[in-house]
Copies of this chain bind each other. A is one copy, B any other.
Amino acid sequence: MTETITQSIQDYLKHIYELNENGGSASTNDIAARLNIAPASVTGMLQKLSNAKPPLVIYKKHQGVTLTKNGEKAALEVIRHHRLLESFLVNTLGYSWDEVHLEADKLEHVISEDFEARMAEALGHPTRDPHGELIPTADLTMPLDKSRPLASLRTDETATVKRVSDDDPALLRHLHEIGVIPEVKVTVKNYSEFDGNITLQVAGRKSNVVLGTVITNQVFIEK
């Protein structure tokens, strides 16, 4: 009697996955905040998911949750849908990178595996979405992410932008404007000890830009 994975459950699993990526286990409150749902409701769902057969999360009272292998597969399935969809919308329907997130958030639960496969094929089996986020493989493995925040660079260091956080459309528009997009080379011309500001030279741009930590913590680079 395998648990039916509803849209709602898919959303829980997806967000738990992302929270697990950072710290260890995902807390009730964090999940609630992300899903815009009352914490009490989250507790109820966590109990349900951990009692499912097979269990989708590991849950002990007051200690947050971790995904089981099954839960992780289900999460990666949704994340693969989401990121392929974002790529597809940009490529095929001319969406800009700040417009795709909401649309993909709805479609990700609804497309068939056939649709997924056809998108991947049409896009040439991409490894990253328009924001540079890694796309889980068809067999649901998440590639290793070697990037770190731009905020961790210091004066005279050079690196390549690999991905940017995609949940704030306004930030995305701004980054696009100043040319800070995946695969672009950047050099730190100055790092300020006091406020953490980074003066950045962006390849192909005349003038440098000064970025605060709110931004430099949402841009990820590799050297």
Q: Is the CB of B103 within 8 A of A115?
A: yes
- A93: contacting residue among B93, B94, B110, B119, CB under 8 A: B119
- 10 contacts across the A-B interface (CB closer than 8 A): A92-B122, A93-B118, A93-B119, A94-B122, A95-B118, A102-B112, A103-B114, A107-B107, A107-B111, A109-B110
A106 within 8 A of B: yes
Q: 10 shortest A-B CB distances, which residue pairs?
A: A93-B118, A106-B110, A110-B110, A92-B92, A103-B112, A107-B110, A103-B115, A93-B122, A94-B118, A93-B119
Shortest distance from the beta carbon of A123 to any chain B beta carbon, whole Å: 11
Which residues of chain A in 78-102 are interfacial with respect to chain B, using CB atoms and an 8 Å cutoff?
A: 92-95, 99, 102
B residues less than 8 Å from A122 (CB atoms): 92-94
Note all chain B residues with C-beta closer than 8 A to A93. Answer: 115, 118-119, 122
Bound complex: CA of A95 vs CA of B117, how far in Å? 12
Give a binary string over A118-157; 1 marks a CB under 8 Å from any B CB, 0 the rest. Answer: 1100100000000000000000000000000000000000
